Every structure is written in structure tokens, then in C-alpha cells.
Structure 1
């Protein structure tokens, strides 16, 4: 148990400095763009941006890709089991997701004071306003889900190799971008398509009576992260680091 705590502490502490770097860069860019537009357009123009959380989604997705090789190599060389490596990595993702969600919730509540038309990520989707705990929870689960997906792909890449992974991604792209649309247009009956979209809207939380049930997206994100995390662990148990 002490080794597991050591691995978790290592993963979380090494990630803190990158969070500060990320927010410093992001907020500097946002401030520079805002000031430039203000100077160019004048004070009478309403300048607004929305959903800055997209930057955090990209960041944690990249983190899921970049954080595998060196950490896996270091922990394996220091006698940590793959189970401990997996748990510590997921713990790191959840820690970063919680921190990002916290700061993004604060930014989302402060930004409208400067940009009156600003809406946060889930404000655009659900119209969430001044529901800070709910916003934090949805962001936390979204970031955790995204990191689980990218972690799955990088572990799969390491397991099957570059060429098989490229072939897999090409095949996946063809299926999602070509075959599935053709099936929707020419093969699948219209009522089935309607049922599919109804199901997707339900798991997103939109109900038939026009209200929003937030338990559905919360459960969907937890289940999705659990599925990708479980598959990743099964792959990681038998993987060797490729150089």
C-alpha cells in the first residue's frame, strides 16, 4: 500500500507545475486577444468568448497521450506493478480533472463580469448558470472521461505498434466517417434513426418533457470512463514498453 501511495503522490505532484503553466499560457492568450480586440474595436463593442473549458479538454487529452511512456518506464524500473501504475495514473487524471474543473468553474463565474455575454461549456449545452457544484462535477467527469479515452489509445498504440495502430485508426475513421453515414442514409430505417437520436439525447440528459435530468450525463460519463479504463487496464497488464 505504501508503494501505491508513493506512485500516486509522484504522479500528482509532477503534474501540478504543468497545470500552472497551462493556465498561465491560456489566460495570457485570452487577455492578449481581449485587449487587442478592445483597442481595435473600441469600448462600445461587446467582446465575448465562450467555453474556455475546451482548452482544458484539449490539455487533458494531450496529457493522457504524453504521460504514458516516461512515467511507465520510470515506475516499472522502480519495481511498481502494472496494477499500481494504472491506479496511480488514473488517480493523477482524476486529480488534474478535479483541479481543472475547480479553476474552470471559477473562471466561468468571473468571466461574465468582464465579458457580459460569456457562457461556460455546460452553460452553452444546458443553460447552467450559478450552479457551481453541478458545473464542477460535470467538468470533472468530462475531463476524467477524455483522459481515460486518450490513455486507452496511447496504451493500445504501445501494445499493437505504430503500423497496426495507424491501420486501426484509418479503419475507425472510415467506419465513422463513411460507412456509418451511408448506413444512416440508405440502410437504417428512419424510425430506428429517430430512436437512436432520442437515446443519445436521453443519455445527454434531455427528457421528452423538455426538462433536463443531470443524472443521465453524470452516469453516462462515469460508465464511459469506467469502460475505457477497464479495457486499458486489461491491455496494460500484458503490455511491454516499446522503445
Structure 2
């Protein structure tokens, strides 16, 4: 199977899933509540955040796809490198498209029904203050970051089984506890430096939020997660679909 064929295959079912997601979201998060408001005649406003739902969608889609696609592609003679590239390119493209659609829905919905509808992109709105291009860039990075989380979770779920999986999950759960204990014993100056670095990485500065710092941080994490996913995928066992 060629790389272009794999990308088209992934993109086709991803777009179908995206259409279903947007249809479901528009119907249950916007249309039905608005109908209720108009019928009742109240002055309430429908508030819906689209960022978290979209990120969750990207995580789930990447999680499912990274497992099923690998099995299909590897049995059709596709190399692991091309499988990884097809996933990366399709997720990148889908993130771009969904970012455009989300911003379009927000602009159109809020402009059309100003008094009845309030669509938000929570963190994006906080950082960008309605700057369209900056909003698009940050939203795109959020979705790309979400897809990388879904991908690494999918590969991990497929590769690690049994007691190994339980051990890794338990270790991940313990990490925050160990970090909190470590924070308590380090010197105040070092603690201040760490918190200052974290805040700057998140784009939080004394004079206001800096979206491009957050974009850079998320992009670096995306690169790291993608590399880990690639390495985990490199020696991944070949399992037949009907096995």
C-alpha cells in the first residue's frame, strides 16, 4: 500500500467521524437548548465550549485509529515509517480543518444570535482575546497536541499488556505524588525558579498571557510524544486482524 493511499483512507474515515461529531455537537449542545429557550420565551443564553469536546474527539479518534490502521496497513505491506507518516499527516490536516470549522462556527453563531448564544474556545479565548490568526494557531496546536496524546495512548494500549500495563499505569499515577513530595523538600529559591519556568512555559507572565509561549510548549510536547510513539511503533508486534 502506498503512503498516499493510506493517507486518503485515514482522511476519509476521519472526516466522516468529524462530520458525525459536529452534527452531534450542533444538535445537542446548541440546537436543542436554543429551541428550549425560544419555546419557553426566557432570556437565558446558551453557553457551549467547543475546545474540550474537540480535543476529546481528537484523542479518541487517534486512539482508535493508531491501533486498527496499523493492523490493516502492515498486512498490506506498508512500512512502519509510512504508517507513522500517514497518521502524522492525516492528524495534522484534520487539526487544520477542524480549527477552521470551529472558528467559523464560533464567529457565525455568536454573530447571528448575540443575545441567545455564547460559543467559546475556553483557553484559546483566554490567551488570544479574539485575535483570529492567533486563535487559529493556538487552537490548531491544541488539537494537534490532543491527537499526539491519543496516538501514544493507542500504541501503549496495543503494545503493553497484562501486568506490565498495570505497572506502568501505577507508576504514572505515582509520579504526581512523588513530584509533590519533592517540591516540599527542595529549597524555596529552587521552588520559585521551577514555578516561574512552568508559568512561562504556559505563557503566563506578570504583564499578561503570551499565547506564543504556550504554542511553543505544546509543539515541543507534541514532538516529544510523536518521537516516543514512533519508537514504540518501530518494534511493534504484527497482529493479524482476524487472529
TM-score normalised by length of structure 1: 0.87
Bigger share in strand:
2
Following superposition, the deviation at residue 118 of structure 1 comes to 4.2
Per the alignment, residue 229 of structure 2 pairs with 232
1:69 correspondence with 2:70: no
1:125-171 deviations in Å (ceiling 9; x for gaps): 22521x22221111111111111122112212222224312221122
Following superposition, the deviation at residue 123 of structure 1 comes to 4.7
TM-score normalised by length of structure 2: 0.87
Following superposition, the deviation at residue 61 of structure 1 comes to 0.6
Distance (whole Å) between structure 1 residues aligned to residue 110 and residue 74 of structure 2: 47
Question: Equivalent residues in 2 for 1:102-117 (5 A)?
Answer: 102-113=100-111, 114=113, 115=116, 117=118
> Are the aligned partners of 2:141 and 2:218 in contact in 1 as well (CA < 8 Å)?
yes
Per the alignment, residue 200 of structure 1 pairs with 198
Distance (whole Å) between structure 2 residues aligned to residue 158 and residue 118 of structure 1: 37
> Are the aligned partners of 2:128 and 2:134 in contact in 1 as well (CA < 8 Å)?
no
1:196-221 deviations in Å (ceiling 9; x for gaps): 2221221222334x144332122112
Structure 2 gap ranges (5+): none
Following superposition, the deviation at residue 39 of structure 1 comes to 4.3
Mean CA deviation greater in 92-101 or 118-127: 118-127
The alignment yields a C-alpha RMSD, in angstroms, of: 2.2
Distance (whole Å) between structure 1 residues aligned to residue 162 and residue 54 of structure 2: 27
1:203-240 deviations in Å (ceiling 9; x for gaps): 222334x1443321221122111111011111111111
Change (3 A) 1:166 1:32: farther
Question: Equivalent residues in 2 for 1:40-59 (5 A)?
Answer: 42-45=41-44, 47-59=45-57
Per the alignment, residue 166 of structure 2 pairs with 166
Per the alignment, residue 155 of structure 1 pairs with 155
1:181 correspondence with 2:180: yes
Distance (whole Å) between structure 2 residues aligned to residue 79 and residue 119 of structure 1: 44
Q: How many residues align?
A: 236
Structure 1 gap ranges (5+): none
